[in-house]
Structure 1
Amino acid sequence: MAEPQPKSGGLTNKAALSCCSDPDPSTKDFLLQQTMLRIKDPKKSLDFYTRILGMTLLQKLDFPTMKFSLYFLAYEDKNDIPKDKDEKVAWVFSRKATLELTHNWGTEDDETQSYHSGNSDPRGFGHIGIAVPDVHGACKRFEELGVKFVKKPDDGKMKGLAFIQDPDITEASRTDGSLSQLRLFLNLSPFTLSAVSP
């Protein structure tokens, strides 16, 4: 009996697995090390990712000739960060799942500068997922801190997930003259996801 096709028209589990290969042994030590986001205002972004989301700034790298800075954040204990500069760089780049915020100098003062998040047309990048032990508890704290929500845990069809906005959002005019709010969605989910029946 053929595996039923998902209602969405996407791949079946079997079809998805048939597209995959076993990892080549030469990739054994590869790791997903970072996701890079361009930011407009490092003061807003660093405050949000450290104070609101509890990340730690691991390293800041400046590139004066190219006029940009990189900020690497992750869920790490700041006491584990090496003090030696070279050792620190090697340590940062060996971490799993860091967030690299890229700031092109001067964008914080340029009212015309904006970045497309992929959450409006043309769609692309969607969100960064943060696992939290208690979605409702985290959202209660975020509300108290004035964080803007795109979706609260009990809204919509997908219960138990929340989407919050990065504060470094901008508005850009679309060609039709309307405003399109560009935002970074942070997907907050519990550590254990259970299947949701339609």
Structure 2
Amino acid sequence: MRFTSESYPGVCAQPSSASNGFVFNHTMLRMKDPKVSLDFYSRIMGMQVLRKLDFPEMKFSLYFLAKPQADDPAPEDVAERTSWTFKQRGVLELTHNWGSEEDADFKYHDGNAQPQGFGHICFAVPNLAAAVAWFDENKVVFVKRPEQGKMKDVAFIKDPDGYWIEIVEPALMTNIGR
């Protein structure tokens, strides 16, 4: 029998066929300074900017980043790439409200300070130790290193806006929560 879902109170055992084809596409984070955040997510985390959309009348821009699969490259045509971007999984949308980068005191709530809400995003890496070394080499701020705390083999870093990013190596996760 094929696995479909763990079962807990509130879990719908048989989702409606009306939701067939629904794909979780992206999560949006606000960023203060595009130059700083785009450098972090492209150079440090290895993501590519798939599409930028500007909304001058509302004074904001959206940047859609992901790590496309080699067997499904992004189309060159802008309209086709926009549609393709919204078909992907695991996309990060970074929203820049124009002018925030010019305010030295400007800061977004990271979701982990009180009142808590949003917690973190997560990247799976092929080798946790190598990723930690890469983050150290690039002076990335750690919230928690893999050897710290009760949850071993899990790291948390911060992006330039203070959002937490969980870093896991899937092969090390087999016994977590047991």
Superposition TM-score, scaled by structure 2 size:
0.90
Partner of 1:119: 112
SS in 2 for 1:103: strand
Hey, what does 1:19 align to over in structure 2?
Answer: 10
Give the equivalent residue in structure 2 for 1:54: 46
Task: State the Cα deviation string for residues 79-101 of structure 1 (Å, max 9, x = none).
Answer: 92211121111001000110000
The alpha-carbon deviation at position 161 of structure 1 amounts to 0.4
Query: Which residue of structure 2 aligns with residue 95 of structure 1?
Result: 88
In 2: Cα distance, 1:53 partner to 1:60 partner: 18
Percent of residue pairs bearing the same amino acid type: 47
Question: What stretches of structure 1 of length at least 5 have no aligned partner?
Answer: 1-12, 169-182
Instruction: Choose the corresponding residue for 2:156, options 120, 140, 163.
Output: 163
* Whole-angstrom CA distance in 1 between matches of 2:177 and 2:66: 34
Question: Which structure has the larger Rg?
Answer: 1
2:138 corresponding residue in structure 1: 145
Which residue of 119, 123, 129 maps to 1:136?
Answer: 129
Describe the SS at the equivalent of 1:117: coil
> What SS class does the counterpart of residue 54 from structure 2 fall into?
strand
Residues 126 and 197 from structure 1, CA distance in 2 versus in 1: closer, same or farther, beyond 3 angstroms?
Answer: closer
1:33 match: 25
Q: Which residue of 1 aligns with 2:63?
A: 71
1:77 CA drift (Å): 5.6
- Distance in 2 (CA, whole Å) between partners of 1:185 and 1:87 is 32
Structure 1 match to 2:170: 191
Secondary structure of 1:162's aligned partner? strand
**Aligned alpha-carbon RMSD (Å):** 1.8
Segments of structure 2 that go 5 or more residues without pairing to the other structure are 1-5
Query: Do the aligned partners of residues 145 and 29 (structure 1) sit closer, same or farther apart at CA in structure 2, a change above 3 Å counting?
Result: same
Stretch deviating more after TM superposition (43-52 or 106-115): 106-115
Question: How much does 1:19 deviate?
Answer: 1.4
User: SS of 1:141's equivalent?
Assistant: helix
List structure 1 runs of 4+ shifted beyond 4 angstroms. Answer: none
SS of the aligned residue for 2:65 comes to strand
